[in-house]
Amino acid sequence: MIQRQEIFNIVDLFTSQPVIDFYQTLFDCVDLSSIPEFIQSKRGPIGYSRHALTRAFIVMNCEHFREITLLRDFLYSNLKIAQLCGFDITKKLPSYSVFQRHIKNIENSDLKEVMKSQVKTLIKLGAINNEIVSVDSTPIKANTKFNNPKCFSKNKFSKDNPPKSDKDCKLGVHTANNEDTDKNYEFYWGYKNLIMCDAKSGLPIYEVTLTGEQADVSNLISFLEKIDSWFSLKNSNLLADKGFDSRANYNYIKDTLHGRAFIAKNRRNTKSVETLSCGNPLCEAGLAMHKDGKQYLKNSIKQKYCCPFRTSKDDSKCPCNHPKYNNGHKNRGCVKYKSIGTDYRASVDETSDYFKFFYSMRTESERYNSRFKNLNLETPSVRNIRSIENQNTLGHICLLAVALAAIITNKGDMLRSLSNLKRAI
């Protein structure tokens, strides 16, 4: 016992001083007052501090650990870090099951409040504002053998064959390149994390975890409503890729948020028709078609184009001998239609320099997604949606704490680099 006490007296020697300073500074940037530290119980022990367990998961993110067992090994080898988390190192540290229950049972709304307080602090420090914001989603693959490329199970990506290891996950699809019109995608079982970032600083503002089958385009409005309730999006410039493109999303940004939308147009299910510089399409014979009236719809105008020899009585006029030219009708020849939008979405010209200038800033979302994935959160080890969403939120809290620590220590050039700040403090 005396020898054990002597070890505790020199516990700092087992961990380097820069690492101790880093975590001490980092924990000062995470206000956990919104989380009840202990669960009230009439019977039995009060258990471990929930604040200490939460800080331990922040350590797990900073050390890029995917599994809880690696976190436990790290805390046992670095008792000073465990002490900074809030554990009593004279007693036994929490077991694997304690950490597992904590990440599952802690209320995500409490973690969201921690994240909100960090964002509000960064707003006061001038690091985050609502001028230009960017929305993107990143896939979170469930811990199941079906996501393993070496798995040769039949129908592993069939909706009728869900994985038994994680009953909450759903079948999703991830596009490898948003700018590629080819079918370049992959299926996966899991979830997705919808994230809004400040496009200037590259820092997260809000996030929500969804199951994999939910489409980005149908969740954008509800996502923006949650954010606007505490972080004003009025008069903001909102950037998003073509996965969020819809008339309803454009109108909500313009009419409700009074902002400007810079969302790439989704060209899916649209046919490319060869046209002249004036906009008139060409028929199959390569001849310019003539305008032939308009049809006025609710949000668009349908322009009709007809064959240039529509009223001709000469059967040999059509160079390609089109079947519709020789159908015996009075108005002969092929017909094409062109939809001309009259709503806000149609008025946005994505080929303009103005659109390209703002849309180029959306790369900050891609950079932030890369930093988020670097925490080993893209392939988590936990297997239920509550644990997944809590782990995701803690990942964002960790990266926001890094930004706050960088500003507080006058290392503002490192607010987006966990590894550099870890070496610098």
* CATH at residue 237: 3.30.420.10
Residues 238 and 367 in one domain: yes
Total tally of structural domains belonging to the chain: 3
* Cα–Cα dist 152/327, whole Å: 54
Provide the pLDDT for residue 272: 63
Residues 202 and 258 in one domain: yes
Residues 365 and 340 in one domain: no
* Cα–Cα dist 303/294, whole Å: 5
* Cα–Cα dist 98/104, whole Å: 10
Provide the pLDDT for residue 315: 77
The whole model's pTM is what? 0.85
Closest CA to 383 of 64, 100, 61: 100
Residues 62 and 138 in one domain: no
Q: Determine the structural domain holding residue 70 and report its residue range.
A: 2-106
Q: Is residue 63 part of a domain?
A: yes
Provide the pLDDT for residue 1: 46
Residues 30 and 156 in one domain: no
pLDDT averaged over the chain?
Answer: 88
* Cα–Cα dist 319/284, whole Å: 9
Provide the pLDDT for residue 151: 84
* Confidence at 296, pLDDT banded by 50, 70, 90: confident
Q: Which amino acid is at 300?
A: S
The pLDDT tens digits for 64-82 are 999 999 999 999 999 999 9
Residues 363 and 337 in one domain: no
Residues 41 and 123 in one domain: no
Residues 78 and 29 in one domain: yes
Residues 67 and 170 in one domain: no
Cα dihedral 105, 109, 110, 115 sign: positive
Q: Is residue 406 part of a domain?
A: no
Q: Which residue has the higher pLDDT, 320 or 252?
A: 252
* Confidence at 271, pLDDT banded by 50, 70, 90: low
Q: Is residue 111 part of a domain?
A: no
Q: Is residue 400 part of a domain?
A: no
Q: Is residue 320 part of a domain?
A: yes
The pLDDT tens digits for 127-140 are 999 999 999 999 99
Q: Which residues pair with 238 in a beta bridge?
A: 133, 261
Task: Please identify, among 74, 106, 138, the residue that sits at the C-terminal boundary of a domain.
Answer: 106
Residues 318 and 212 in one domain: no
177 three-class SS:
coil
Residues 342 and 364 in one domain: no
The pLDDT tens digits for 40-53 are 776 777 789 999 99
**First and final CA of the chain: distance in angstroms?**
35
Q: Is residue 244 part of a domain?
A: yes
Q: With a cut of 60, say whether residue 13 has pLDDT above it.
A: no
Q: With a cut of 70, say whether residue 402 has pLDDT above it.
A: yes
Q: With a cut of 60, say whether residue 3 has pLDDT above it.
A: no
Q: Is residue 412 part of a domain?
A: no
What are 197's two structure tokens? 């970032």
Q: Is residue 37 part of a domain?
A: yes
Residues 261 and 198 in one domain: yes
